[in-house]
Amino acid sequence: MAASKKTKPKKSTLKVGQDELLGYYRDMLLIRRFEEKAGQLYGMGQIAGFCHLYIGQEAVVVGCRSAMQEGDQMITGYRDHGHMLACGMESRGVMAELTGRSGGYSRGKGGSMHMFSTEKKFYGGHGIVGAQVPLGAGLGFANKYLDNGAVSLAFFGDGASNQGQVYETFNMAKLWDLPVVFVIENNQYAMGTSVERSSAETELFKRGISFEIEGVQVDGMNVMAVRDAAQKAITHARSGKGPMILEMKTYRYRGHSMSDPAKYRSRDEVTKTRSESDPIDMVRARLLDEKWADDDSLKAIDKEIKAIVADAAEFAQTSPEPDPSELYTDVLLDAEV
């Protein structure tokens, strides 16, 4: 049951195919460019409230998603734009929700932190730190009850990993061997508080030991390493052996939210991470090394992604605000009784 060893960030030599790697590149780049655009729209006052960008962490969700099967579910906290795009939700609908327009996934009533797609098996989008963890285990509970073979992936950060309900959930998830994978996105700062300053045990993959939950620390900047770890954990959960914990060591380049000046860490720290272990640069280098792509073909992908994001931004700014009548809808469903 012991937690396994760390893997160190390195140039990835993990096994991967051409189409697969190009897919990762495209998916991660879409998230990156989407988030950059969201940041820009926020600065223009088109997006309001809280807006938590995923820039730097793209490999975590893209790697996990590639290990998931049809019917598997995903749930996360408030830093959720990347997860939605990885699940195949439309850029337009996500961006229009950020701008609070009727074309958004929640028709403008949810905002950045509250979007869902039952069709794409994305269950939110939750604003209360840690709440998505029991909810995700509950999805796993339903999977087991319905015997549908699906696995639920519950994403949360290093900050949420100190919440009491996370441990209540670990206990029940293992007690009942629920098909759920707990993905801790350790970006090293809970808002402004570093893991060292907030956590007695900083190796978060060990947090399941007293619940007999196996934990693995993963280089969350390496999409192939993420994929491999996620495949193993998902297979474990699907086979009826219960949950696993994946600690993804990752990093966010931007502040906690748009309103965070990020004074708690040095500029150098951010720059160093960006230059040495950027998940997209790593994949790009490998594509070029393997001669699976050249500068021109990568430029073509960049252009294509840019167009998708520009279209989403255009849609998000032109989609009308919700009709005033929407104020009163979706509070309760009609009872069939």
Could you tell me whether strands 193-194 and 189-190 are parallel, antiparallel, or unpaired per DSSP bridges? antiparallel
Tally of CB atoms within 10 A around 270: 16
CB of 77 to other proteins, least distance (A): 12
CB of 304 to other proteins, least distance (A): 29
Work out whether 107 is an interface residue with other proteins (CB under 8 A). Answer: yes
CB of 142 to other proteins, least distance (A): 3
- For 7, 48, 170, 206, the CA distances from 212, given in Å and listed in that order, are 22, 43, 9, 10
* Residue placing its CB nearer to other proteins in the complex, 117 or 161: 117
CB of 85 to other proteins, least distance (A): 17
**Contacts with other proteins, 188-227, as mask; x by CB under 8 A:** ----------------------------------------
CB of 155 to other proteins, least distance (A): 14
Q: Which two tokens stand for residue 44?
A: 């223009």
Residue among 110, 208, 220, 242 that touches other proteins (CB under 8 A): 110
Work out whether 314 is an interface residue with other proteins (CB under 8 A). Answer: no
Q: What share of the chain is helix, strand, coil (3-state, %, to 5)?
A: 50, 10, 40
Tally of CB atoms within 10 A around 329: 11
Work out whether 54 is an interface residue with other proteins (CB under 8 A). Answer: no
β-partners of residue 246 are: 183, 216
* Residue placing its CB nearer to other proteins in the complex, 18 or 329: 329
Residue among 7, 46, 165, 231 that touches other proteins (CB under 8 A): 165
* 232 close to 69: Cβ distance less than 8 angstroms: no
Residue among 172, 270, 288, 298 that touches other proteins (CB under 8 A): 172
**Rounded Cα–Cα distance for residues 36 and 48 (Å):** 15
SS3 208: helix
Could you tell me whether strands 215-219 and 189-190 are parallel, antiparallel, or unpaired per DSSP bridges? unpaired
Residue 140 has phi, psi (to 5 degrees) of: -65, -40
Q: Where are the beta strands (DSSP E) in 196-255?
A: 215-219, 244-249
Work out whether 168 is an interface residue with other proteins (CB under 8 A). Answer: yes
The footprint of other proteins on residues 116-145 (CB under 8 A) is 116-118, 123-128, 131, 133-143, 145
SS3 246: strand
Which of 117, 228, 215 lies closest to 166 in space, CA to CA?
215
CB of 73 to other proteins, least distance (A): 7
CB of 332 to other proteins, least distance (A): 5
CB of 206 to other proteins, least distance (A): 20
Binding segment for other proteins (CB under 8 A), chosen from 54-62, 107-115, 233-241, 276-284, is 107-115
- Name 40's Cβ contacts closer than 8 Å, sequence gap at least 6: none
Residue among 169, 186, 217, 222 that touches other proteins (CB under 8 A): 169
Q: Where are the beta strands (DSSP E) in 85-232?
A: 122-125, 152-157, 180-186, 189-190, 193-194, 215-219
Question: How many chain residues are in contact with other proteins, going by CB under 8 A?
Answer: 52
* Residue placing its CB nearer to other proteins in the complex, 164 or 324: 164
CB of 134 to other proteins, least distance (A): 3
* Residue placing its CB nearer to other proteins in the complex, 310 or 327: 327
Binding site for other proteins (CB under 8 A): 73, 75, 104-110, 114-118, 123-128, 131, 133-143, 145-146, 152, 164-165, 167-169, 171-172, 175, 329-337
